[in-house]
Amino acid sequence: MDKIQIGTSINGEAVEFLCEPQQSLLEVLRDTLGRTGTKEGCSTGDCGACSVLMDGRLVCACLVLAAEAGGHEITTIEGLATDAGLHPIQQKFLEHAALQCGICTPGLIVATKALLDRHPDPDETTIRYWLAGNLCRCTGYDKIIRAVQDAARSLAHPA
């Protein structure tokens, strides 16, 4: 099958790759580029484990064709921590024990970033609806919601 050459930006770095026309961004991120921080839970857009940002917008990487990523800026879980350390959302997920098995965690953290970028001070209902596309089977969501609330506080008032 003929492959397509795509140029994109992933976590601020220019990246070029070859893909088959039917391949998803998720498949290319994980298998072609080796960025396995983005997880696969269903490949039908129902679980949110593959949440990434495309030009700042929250998308399921399994529902985006890899070829569609051309010319866009992709942010994955690997792009959140900086030289200064973990992103406050990552830190708060740890402090609140908001992960058990951890497979949904990268997607939830990326979804939380999308939420807090738009709504820096969300109420509990807003958080719950924003994260409704991200399945977690271990926690019952309680500690995740609390981590997000605390991350919002921490981003609003950096220590």
Partner 1 sequence: MAEAVDYKAIGTSPVRPDGVDKVTGRAQYGADLNLPGQIYGKVLRSPHAHARILKIDTSRALALPGVYGVITGQDFPEAEGGEIGGEGGGDVSDLAKNIMARDKVLYHGHAVAAVAAKSLSVAQAALDAISVEYEVLAPVLDLESAMAPGATLIDPSCFTKNLPEKPTAPSNIAAVMKLGRGNVEEGFAQADVIVEGEYRIPMAHQGYIEPHACIASCNEQGQATVWCCTQGHFEFRAMTAKVLRMHIADLKFIASEIGGGFGGKTVIYLEPLAVMLSRKSRRPVKMAMTREEVFRATGPTSGTLARIRVGARKDGTLTAATAWLAYEAGAYAGAPMGPGAMTVFAPYILPNFAVEAFDVLLNKPKVAAYRAPGAPQSMYAMECAMDELAERLGMDPIDLRLKNAAEEGTQAPYGPKFPAIGLKACLNAAKAHPNYTRPLPAGAGRGMAVGFWFNVGMQSSAEVHINEDGTVTIVEGSPDIGGSRASMALMASETLGIPYERIKVIIGDTESAGFSNVTGGSRTTFATGMAVIRACEDIIAQCKSRAASTWGIDADQVDWRDGAAIPAPGVNAALKPLALADIAAGAPKTGGPLLGRASLNAQGAGAGFSVNLADIRVDPETGKVDVLSFTAIQDAGKAIHPAYVEGQMQGGAVQGLGWALNEEYIYDANGVMQNAGFLDYRMPVASDLPMIDTVIVEVPNPTHPYGVRGVGETPIVAPLATAANAVSRATGVRMRDLPLSPPRVLEALEAAGR
Contact between 121 and 156 (Cβ < 8 Å): yes
Nearest distance in Å: CB 102, partner 1:
4
By C-beta, is 70 or 133 nearer to partner 1? 133
By C-beta, is 71 or 94 nearer to partner 1? 94
Neighbour count for residue 89 (Cβ, 10 Å)? 25
Cβ within 8 Å of residue 157, ≥6 positions away:
none
By C-beta, is 106 or 114 nearer to partner 1? 106
First to last CA, the chain: 53
No. of helices (H) and no. of strands (E), the chain: 5, 5
Nearest distance in Å: CB 127, partner 1:
7
For residue 32, give the DSSP letter.
I
By C-beta, is 39 or 64 nearer to partner 1? 39
Q: Which residues bind partner 1 (CB under 8 A)?
A: 1, 20, 22, 27, 30-31, 34-44, 46-47, 49, 76-78, 80-81, 86, 90, 93-97, 99-106, 109, 125, 127-129, 131-145
